[in-house]
Amino acid sequence: MYIKLLKSKVHLANITDKNLFYEGSLTLDKEIMAKANLKPFEAVWIYNVNNGERFETYLIEGKKGEVILNGAAARKGEIGDKIIIVAFSWVLEEELKNFQTTLVYLNESNEIKEIKSISYS
């Protein structure tokens, strides 16, 4: 049986810009993506802490500190809003021992302040 688990989480990223007339996506600092085990064009859910919006989009790599809402997603938040970025994975129960959840915590400047890994063994 498959279980849907949290694969990656970026906690409290600050939106740095919005670009309504761009194909839909979230631009995210590529270093943060790498540390959170997130890939370009991977589907993610965005939870806006400031206004309660929740939506799905995909990632594109950005420059240091960038967190940019693009396309229709630009209507879901404002510059300075705090968001949580999550990705899920379907995992077979027998593969749980090899699965790991990565949690990345950011400071006010979108710099990594802590990384945690959770194992299921």
Contact indicator for 26, 18 with CB cutoff of 8 Å: no
Domain span including residue 45? 2-119
| Lowest mean pLDDT segment, chosen from 21-30, 33-42, 49-58, 105-114 | 21-30
Confidence of residue 18 (pLDDT cuts 50, 70, 90): very high
Q: What is the pLDDT of residue 23?
A: 79
Domain of residue 67, CATH code: 2.40.40.20
For the stretch 47-80, pLDDT in tens is: 999 999 999 999 999 999 999 999 999 999 999 9
Structure token pair of residue 14 = 């600050």
Which sequence positions are flagged as catalytic? Answer: 25, 58
User: Cα–Cα distance between 47 and 56 in angstroms, integer?
Assistant: 9
Q: How many domains would you assign to the chain?
A: 1
